[in-house]
Amino acid sequence: MDDRQIIAAFNAHYRQRGLDPAKFPVLSKRYTKEELEERLSFYKEYIDIILFFVNKFLSTIQGTPILVTVTDQWGYLLECYGEPMFSRGHRGAGHYQGGPLQRGNRHGLSSAVPAV
């Protein structure tokens, strides 16, 4: 598959799900400030371990457009790390908060944001 075929398949997949591939998904589900603080506290040890390895990995591929997100089991964004080009607002080198990358937003099938 070449780039055009990949993009066409991606757009067709969006349309099949009732989404407009030309528009950013609206993320209407999000944690309250208190809920987010509770989830961050619950996952703190995991996030610290992930951050340790992500920072090692990112230091070896500087300048490569990559984004690493950490979500809870329900798809709510807890942390986001990667190249600064991915976000206008960030809280430090490679650590984002703002727009669709706002901590506490829920990502998943309903928003068409891929998650691993």
Q: What is the mean pLDDT of the chain?
A: 75
What band does 89 get if pLDDT is binned at 50, 70 and 90? very low
* Residue 80 placed within a domain: yes
> Would you place residue 41 in the very low, low, confident or very high pLDDT band (cuts 50, 70, 90)?
very high
Helix ranges, the chain (H): 3-16, 33-60
- Residue 18 placed within a domain: no
41 close to 31: Cβ distance less than 8 angstroms: no
What is the per-residue pLDDT for 106?
64
Q: 109 lies in a domain?
A: yes
Is 87 or 14 the better-scoring residue by pLDDT? 14
Q: Is residue 7 part of a domain?
A: no
pLDDT band at 115 (very low <50, low <70, confident <90, very high): very low
Helix (H, G, I), strand (E, B) or coil at 101: helix
Coil, helix or strand for 85? helix
pLDDT at 111: 47
**Dihedrals φ, ψ of 97, to 5°?**
-160, 120
Q: Name beta bridge partners: 67.
A: 82
Residue 92 lies in a domain: yes
Within a domain: 36: yes
Q: Can you tell me the distance from the alpha carbon of 98 to that of 115, in angstroms, rounded to the nearest whole number?
A: 18
Neighbours of 100 (CB within 10 A): 17
Residue 48, pLDDT > 80, answer: yes
Residue 6 placed within a domain: no
Q: What are 14's two structure tokens? A: 């969006």
Domain count, the chain: 1
As a whole number of angstroms, the distance between CA 34 and CA 23 comes to: 30
Q: Is the pLDDT of residue 98 over 60?
A: no
**pTM of this structure:** 0.57
CA 102, CA 13: separation in Å to the nearest integer? 25
Please give the residue range of the domain that contains residue 29. 24-116
What's residue 101's pLDDT? 54
Q: 13 lies in a domain?
A: no
